[in-house]
Amino acid sequence: MDIIAQLIRKIKKCRVDNPDQLLVMIGKLKAHKDINQGAVESGLIFYGLALGLEKIADHRIFNLHSDETLNVLCDQIEEIKKREGLDEDEFYARGDPDSPEDYQALNIEFQYRIDEIRGEVMQEFEEEEMADLFIDNNKEYIRRFHSGWRLLEKDNPEALKEIDEHEKEELSDFL
């Protein structure tokens, strides 16, 4: 388990703009997944793979800008921001009642496409169960992600508080 935890900590530290290093660590973690079948290892590995694959997706989304749908949505959002007099680094908070309806609608589409890409990356890396949870049962995906994160940080009370807050925030969308 220590080797798995060390590998996941490296994935956590790895920058999104370093996909080659992420790919190597994800490959190693997938090898451990094939070997280790215990509940603790399984939870840790789920968290580590999910974290790594989300970083791979984020690299494709935010660094490569290779998705045409996202590019079009981003341009449309920027046009609305200009129309509304917002600076480049300004934005409306999600659900802001003062934000234009078209801005909110485009942000919902943008987030939906991001989620689709993340699911596609999970499928690309043959993590079908993870992708199914992410796409069809996101609440359970969030629960398993945070359960694995808790296993990693089980001896760090401050980190456990942060994990609880993070999970509560993510699950608030389901209330």
pLDDT tens for each residue of 67-124: 999 999 999 999 999 999 999 889 998 888 899 999 999 999 999 999 999 999 999 9
- Burial of 23-56, coded b for 16+ CB within 10 Å and e otherwise, reads eebbebbbebbeeeeeeebebbbbbbbbbbbbbb
Is this structure's pTM higher than 0.85? yes
Q: What is the pLDDT of residue 34?
A: 86
- Check residue 136 and give its pLDDT: 96
Could you tell me what percent of the chain has a pLDDT over 70?
99
Residue type, 69: T
List of residues 6+ apart from 152 with CB closer than 8 A: 5, 8, 9, 44, 47, 48
| CA pair distance 112, 110, nearest whole angstrom | 5
Q: How confident is the model at residue 165 (pLDDT cuts 50, 70, 90)?
A: very high
| pLDDT score of 36 more than 90 | no
**The one-letter amino acid at 98:** D
Q: Is the pLDDT of residue 38 over 90?
A: no
Q: For residue 39, is pLDDT > 80?
A: no
